[in-house]
Amino acid sequence: MRDVYIVGIGSTTFGRHASESIENLAVGAVVDALIDSMVARDQIGALYLGNFISGPLNGKEVLAGIVADRIGLPNIPCTKVEGACASGGIAFRHACMAVASGEVDAAIAVGVETMTHAPTKQTTAALNCAMDNENDGPSGLTFPGLFGLAWRMHADRFGTTRQHVSAVVRKNKGNGLHNPLAQMGAELSDAAIADSLPICDPIQLYDCCPTSDGAAAVVVVSKTVAQKLRATLKHPLVQVLAAVQTRGSPSIGGHADLISFDATVIAAQRAYALAGVSAQDIDLVELHDCFSIAEVIDSEDLGLVPRGQGGYWAHEGRTAVDGDVAINASGGLLAKGHPVGATGLGQVFEVVSQLRHTHPNQVQNARIGMTHNLGGAGVACTVSILRGVQ
Amino acid sequence: MTMQRCTNCKTTLTEVAVVCVNCLSREFENFEAPTGGRLVSWTTIRRAPAGYCAAAPYDVVVVDLAPTIRVTGRLAPDSLPPSMGASVHQVGEENGCRLFVVSK
């Protein structure tokens, strides 16, 4: 397989974009990424678009072709991919694979979602399509409920407390304050978090990511194209060392242990092997903190933090921007927001900004970064490892 | 409680299975699964999805009926309070959802 490089990134803010159509949000991010990349439109060989619920919430499909048409791309294959909350990460991997295989020399990955225009009940019903509803639906379980179940088990086994998990919320909300793309950064006290609206015990409102609108895009190219562009680009190249996708159980009963997601564990192991690095080499990660306890679990599943220590590390500041490993310096899903199909590409945008050393919450000497995008009840997962080429 | 398993390899299967996940056989047989088990975890749903709002708040539970049989369900409203690892048993079913109570 050929080496793959990221040469262009673009992103809208995450939050409310009530006056813009879903396709125009995506167009904005793609055009920004193209300009950033200096790649001409006629060089693009494929476009992959990650999206989850444009059908139920917008009444729109074939978004990949629509976006390509709006910006005058050639008659190339344009494909929408879906893996619930991991849709963006899957689009990124497909674009990387198209280049790595030699099929094309340049490809676009874009993720997009608009959610804030819809009533909460409609959004909840649409998001619940990511469950194995035949098995888990009759109980009235929700996604916050899934992570409530996981939290209780983590607390029972490892002594993880409300205070530990609140440290994740305070960190990510605080990081979001400095990220201009973030939807809701905030300075929160432990008391404010603990006293917020109960959603599904022990999860409170501040433990949940918001619903969001947004789009993010990247342009990936072959090594030959990257070398030609290098002299004219205004920023360093970023190499894709690994872009892995895995499957896990779609249902609760299929998980051997609710405090770990197999799909993440396996994806991380494969990514480390492909990249030729270990967890200790990772300077920063943007991981899937859809709920506060998810960050604790993900950090352990990715091997960045010893099993059971995720809450303790957050509480001790070891996952802060200046910690042992910087987790969600962007603010993560909790503060930056979670426009579902865009999230995975938003993570790539953030990590590339870090590796270019231009991030508003810059991790000092950032050299290798990771993204982690998880869909459904752990049914789809992507992990990528990126390296800055200085 | 009646559940189904693969006739060929005896793997326990969910109600919605159409092939055995282990050997791809389509031959199933019913068997009597235990009604009692161990509470693996629970959460109290206070913001319920459409169709469940009238029942909220309610406790969703994960129960191990046997080492290889993990199911989801709800605690019946008149159950004793849940605790991790508690003994529970099924007392009925409501719209496809198993109802459990914490054993005395």
- The closest of A307, A327, A309, A321 to A360, measured between CA atoms, is A321
Residue of A nearest to B41 (CA): A149
pLDDT level of residue B15 (50, 70, 90 thresholds)? confident
**CA-CA distance, A346 to A115, in Å (whole number)?**
16
Mutation target vs A (from B43, B44, B59; most A CBs, 10 A cutoff): B43
Residue of A nearest to B55 (CA): A140
**CA-CA distance, A357 to A208, in Å (whole number)?**
29
Q: Is A338 a catalytic residue?
A: yes
- The answer to whether position A357 is within a domain reads no
Encode pLDDT of A339-379 as tens digits.
999 999 999 999 999 999 999 999 999 999 999 999 999 99
Residue of B nearest to A152 (CA): B41
Same domain, B21 and B40: no
Give me the torsion for CA of A288, A387, A174, A189, rounded to 10°. Answer: 60
**CA-CA distance, A63 to A82, in Å (whole number)?**
12
> In chain A, how many domains are there?
1
* Chain-chain contact of B50 with A134 (C-beta, under 8 angstroms): no
- The closest of B92, B75, B79, B77 to B41, measured between CA atoms, is B75
Q: Is A372 a catalytic residue?
A: no
Token readout for B63 is 């129960």
pLDDT level of residue B49 (50, 70, 90 thresholds)? confident
* Chain-chain contact of A198 with B46 (C-beta, under 8 angstroms): yes
Same domain, B20 and B45: no
Q: Identify the segments of chain A with pLDDT beneath 70.
A: none
Do A267 and A381 meet the contact criterion of CB atoms below 8 Å apart?
yes
Burial (CB count within 10 angstroms: exposed 0-12, middle 13-18, buried 19+), residue A231: exposed
Whether B67 shows a pLDDT value over 90: the answer reads no
- The answer to whether position A51 is within a domain reads yes
Token readout for B100 is 């459990």
Same domain, B25 and B51: no
Q: What is the distance of C-alpha A6 from the center of its chain?
A: 16
Q: Calculate how close chain A gets to B16, using CA atoms only, in Å.
A: 7
- The answer to whether position A220 is within a domain reads yes
Please state the pTM of the whole predicted model. Answer: 0.97
Between chain A and chain B, the number of residue pairs with CB atoms below 8 A apart is 92
**Residue A121: how many CB atoms within 10 A of its CB?**
11
Q: Calculate how close chain A gets to B42, using CA atoms only, in Å.
A: 5
Start-end of H helices in chain A:
22-37, 54-58, 63-70, 87-100, 120-127, 133-136, 143-158, 162-177, 190-194, 223-229, 262-275, 292-301, 310-315, 332-336, 343-355
Output the pLDDT for position A52. Answer: 98
pLDDT level of residue B25 (50, 70, 90 thresholds)? very high
Instruction: Show the domain range for B45.
Output: 34-102
Do A346 and A14 meet the contact criterion of CB atoms below 8 Å apart?
yes
Give the CA distances from residue A328 to residues A56, A179, A289, A337, A356, in Å, rounded to whole numbers and listed in that order.
Answer: 30, 11, 8, 12, 17
Same domain, B39 and B71: yes
**Residue A19: how many CB atoms within 10 A of its CB?**
7
- The answer to whether position A202 is within a domain reads no
What residues form DSSP beta bridges with A23? none
ipTM for the complex? Answer: 0.94
Closest partner CB to A253 (pick from B14, B49, B95): B14
Output the pLDDT for position A41. Answer: 98
- The answer to whether position A73 is within a domain reads yes
Output the pLDDT for position A133. Answer: 87
* Chain-chain contact of B43 with A201 (C-beta, under 8 angstroms): yes
> In chain B, how many domains are there?
2
Same domain, B23 and B52: no
CA contacts within 13 A on the Cβ side of B27: 5
**CA-CA distance, A10 to B48, in Å (whole number)?**
36
Closest partner CB to B46 (pick from A124, A141, A199): A199
> Cβ contacts (< 8 Å) between B71 and chain A: which residues?
253
- The answer to whether position A52 is within a domain reads yes
List the CATH number of the domain containing B76: 2.40.50
Do A340 and A87 meet the contact criterion of CB atoms below 8 Å apart?
yes
Catalytic position from the list A78, A85, A96, A208: A85
- The answer to whether position A353 is within a domain reads no
Closest partner CB to B58 (pick from A140, A148, A156): A140
User: In the sheet where B2-6 sits, what is the strand order?
Assistant: B12-13, B2-6, B28-32
- The answer to whether position A200 is within a domain reads no
> Cβ contacts (< 8 Å) between B46 and chain A: which residues?
198-201
Encode pLDDT of A109-129 as tens digits.
999 999 999 998 899 889 989
Same domain, B43 and B83: yes
Output the pLDDT for position A255. Answer: 86
pLDDT level of residue B62 (50, 70, 90 thresholds)? very high
Same domain, B7 and B43: no
Catalytic position from the list A154, A164, A288, A338: A338
Encode pLDDT of B32-44 as tens digits.
989 999 999 999 9
Closest partner CB to B55 (pick from A140, A142, A150): A140
Instruction: Show the domain range for A220.
Output: 4-119+211-229
Output the pLDDT for position B54. Answer: 87
